């Protein structure tokens, strides 16, 4: 069973789940990032036999999260798909069809290169660079946010880098875990898709990270 940690930002409550999602309680919005769906398909099409079940597991986790939270909206902060269309996109459509009642919004990331019409057919609303709800912004890459974007917003959520923290002990021991990463004015979500690499972040003072250790979310201390 997954575990959660509640994290509060500007009087809003966000549930960090070890299934690699964030749930915004006040707005009932499920936030996730970097699913990279279709990546296994591209590999397999090229003759590289990575396990075909990865995508299925990612989708099951996605559906389970929706059924658990019953969100009013799912916001994906980029990289829903890994690359151009392949058959795994069809598999996604099948799932999407069963979840028609849930509105989905994609803030497009650098990997989201399928044509706009495709999203329309799939019932996914898209936002080009950023999307706003109340005083929160949603973008793919944190570095894309300009000064003027922040004038009416207090905080923003992003993805893209697939953050992870390394936990070190005595004698150079170290282990690496995917994490939720919070700075003073933005958050970075872990990659939702399991067939993705990670990038090591080093939280500074006043920054927090929550590591996903197996089925738990643990506050990371330096």
**Residue closer to other proteins (CB basis): 82 or 140:** 82
Q: Which residues bind other proteins (CB under 8 A)?
A: 39, 41-54, 57, 82-83, 86-88, 90-91, 167-175, 194-197, 211, 213-214, 216, 218, 221-222
Min CB(41)–other proteins separation in Å = 6
* CB 42 to other proteins: min, Å: 5
**Residue number with CB closer to other proteins (71 or 109):** 109
Q: Do the beta carbons of residue 198 and residue 163 sit within 8 Å?
A: yes
CB-nearer residue toward other proteins: 26 or 53: 53
Cβ 135 to other proteins shortest distance, Å: 33
Write out the DSSP string of 152-207: T-SEEEE-SS-EEEEEE-GGG-EEEEEEEEE-SSEEEPPPSSSS---EE----TT-
CB of 37 to other proteins, least distance (A): 11
**Strand, coil or helix: 149:** helix
Contact residues for 210 (Cβ-Cβ < 8 A; gap 6+): 5, 7, 16, 179, 180, 182, 217, 218, 219, 220
Smallest gap from Cβ 31 to other proteins, in A, equals 24
> What is the widest separation between alpha-carbon atoms in the chain?
54
Judged by beta carbon, residue 128 or residue 214, the one nearer other proteins is 214
Instruction: Give the residue with the Cβ less far from other proteins, 49 or 128.
Output: 49
């Amino acid at each position: 069973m997954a575990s959660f940690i509640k994290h509060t930002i500007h009087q809003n409550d966000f549930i960090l789940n070890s299934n690699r999602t964030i749930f915004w309680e006040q707005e009932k919005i499920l936030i996730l990032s970097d699913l990279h769906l279709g990546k296994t398909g591209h590999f397999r099409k090229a003759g590289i036999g990575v396990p075909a079940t990865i995508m299925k597991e990612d989708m099951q986790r996605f559906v389970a999260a929706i059924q658990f939270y019953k969100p009013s909206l799912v916001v994906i902060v980029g990289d829903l798909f890994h690359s151009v269309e392949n058959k795994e996109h069809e598999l996604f459509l099948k799932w999407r069809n069963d979840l028609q009642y849930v509105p989905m919004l994609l803030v497009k990331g650098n990997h989201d290169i399928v044509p706009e019409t495709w999203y329309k057919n799939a019932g996914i609303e898209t936002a080009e660079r950023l999307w706003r709800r109340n005083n929160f912004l949603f973008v793919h890459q944190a570095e894309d946010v300009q000064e003027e974007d922040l004038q009416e917003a207090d905080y923003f959520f992003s993805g893209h880098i697939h953050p992870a923290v390394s936990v070190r002990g005595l004698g150079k021991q170290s282990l690496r875990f995917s994490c939720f990463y919070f700075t003073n004015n933005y958050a970075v979500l872990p990659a939702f898709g399991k067939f993705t690499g990670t990038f090591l972040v080093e939280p500074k003072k006043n920054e927090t990270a929550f590591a996903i250790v197996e089925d738990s979310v643990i506050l990371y201390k330096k």
